[in-house]
Structure 1
């Protein structure tokens, strides 16, 4: 970061798609407005909330940097795309309605866009509970910078809300896929990774809230969509990765789903089948063998 400095502040449009998050939304908006980067706008797209969201947003009435757009309930991808379509900035960022930004977020991340090949800059996250108390949680994935397709096709290591993107990514590679109910960020990152570099800023700039009322932990639905997203990406970009890496990506997909089912539903035979499917695709993939051992020991 030393020596990286933008001479002017390009506008950043921050998209917040929300549904029944009135209890947390004002804090999310306020955390964005508290940036030491002044040239920004906040676009809140209310996806048909039935709680007190509209009342809670009245505190921002008259603030020229906040736009509140109530819509009918059409689902997360369409709400986010509405925000993207409304955005005026040269750069786009995101914040989930129950999360928070660190005040230094844009100051830390924006200078990395001095490199014109960089399309996405993302950062590290920390965690809080429903009352804002810190939670210690290990980071699950290794982060990567540069041409990241080879890594990203195996694991989505980009925390969604931490990302800032260049508008040209949208213009060149599209918005969120509205046919996908879940996993829309991984689908977006995979498409962007083909043409753009990603940069990881190791500073913590995003605060993720873990609480009982957040989106359903529907792991079966998540993996159904993950299989669909991987298929879609490989069909549309058949030369993006080599055959060996395709096999590894499919292996990891089966292993991850198997262990999610084993942990979430305390099953054995169905996860075992997934692990064997993973090993058939990449027999040397060590996480598959570790998963197999863990599953058998759990059964014993």
Structure 2
């Protein structure tokens, strides 16, 4: 185990939602046990698992207080909220059941919180740089840097470097009521944007998280996630729309839909490309020139390919 850092004057709890995490939860907990500054409490929320992940949590020899909670399968937002209700520490760090922290993650984030607090900065959320490791061996660095007020940035995109990179003031997230349990997609961005609306967001400029990206994510299954994305867009605009300009609302909606249009296009799902583009046009004619016209070019390609398929089908009969 790494040498332990001097204790921070503040306490920290780690909240880990888990659904069928038997293959990874022990490595995840081991990365927490290997921190140079151990957490005061770790809460794992079993979100209706059907494997032996919960038993592996029970059997883990933790050098910290470890609590296992259970609930029916209700999604990560609900699971994180369940865990939050059992926290009492100053800060909460979130960690997914298949991600791993590098040893100085908690120590460096707590140190930055302490430094900024001494300066009188109203900081409520700190993340770090991230290694995204894909199953094909590809590694991509996420290093979006934050150092103050970033509400407008979160309107344009999720600029946090992953849920498992986040450490947040408990009093702030509880004041905001936790994550929106009605959202099964981007519930984290919704929360980070709410925090950024009133408080500062900062980044430790070091890679302190290894995020494991598997085939069950949005990139591999856009059809599965797109309806949840539509629900997120609606909820986001309902909440933040009144304080946004018309152009900000248009940019947000077109950007959110365009991400999926690109995914569908790459997968050759032409009917879905056409459907997403139609939804974008309902927001604004600016769809035609959005992102230098790339969605429009993808639409034209999808239309051509769909027409070719229809002609080939007719000829075959």
TM over 0.5: yes
Please state how far the C-alpha of 1:61 moved relative to its aligned partner.
Answer: 5.3
Q: 1:57 to 1:269 in 2, by over 3 A?
A: closer
Q: Structure 1 unaligned runs (5+)?
A: none
Q: Is the 8 A contact 1:252 1:278 kept in 2?
A: no
String of CA shifts for 1:106-165, please: whole Å, max 9, x gaps. 1222223233411110111103356xx9632264x8544422121111211211110110
String of CA shifts for 1:32-82, please: whole Å, max 9, x gaps. 121111343111111121112133224325754211223333332221111
String of CA shifts for 1:230-285, please: whole Å, max 9, x gaps. 33233333443322212211221232232222223430533543565566146664
Which stretch has the larger CA shift, 201-210 or 261-270?
261-270
Residue 181 of structure 1 is matched in structure 2 by 184
Residue 225 of structure 2 is matched in structure 1 by 222
Residue 266 of structure 1 is matched in structure 2 by 269
What is the rounded CA distance, in whole Å, between the counterparts of 2:36 and 2:73 in structure 1?
34
- The alignment partner of 1:17 has SS state of strand
2:247 maps to 1:237:
no
Q: 1:294 to 1:40 in 2, by over 3 A?
A: same
Q: Structure 2 unaligned runs (5+)?
A: 306-317
Residue 152 of structure 1 is matched in structure 2 by 154
Q: 1:127 to 1:236 in 2, by over 3 A?
A: closer
Please state how far the C-alpha of 1:192 moved relative to its aligned partner.
Answer: 1.3
Q: Is the 8 A contact 1:252 1:288 kept in 2?
A: no
What is the rounded CA distance, in whole Å, between the counterparts of 1:206 and 1:226 in structure 2?
26
Please state how far the C-alpha of 1:194 moved relative to its aligned partner.
Answer: 1.1
Residue 253 of structure 2 is matched in structure 1 by 250
Q: Is the 8 A contact 1:255 1:288 kept in 2?
A: no
Computing the radius of gyration from Cα coordinates, the structure with the larger value is 2
**How many residue pairs were aligned?**
292
What is the rounded CA distance, in whole Å, between the counterparts of 1:254 and 1:70 in structure 2?
35
2:220 maps to 1:211:
no
RMSD of the TM alignment (CA)?
Answer: 3.0
What is the rounded CA distance, in whole Å, between the counterparts of 2:199 and 2:191 in structure 1?
12
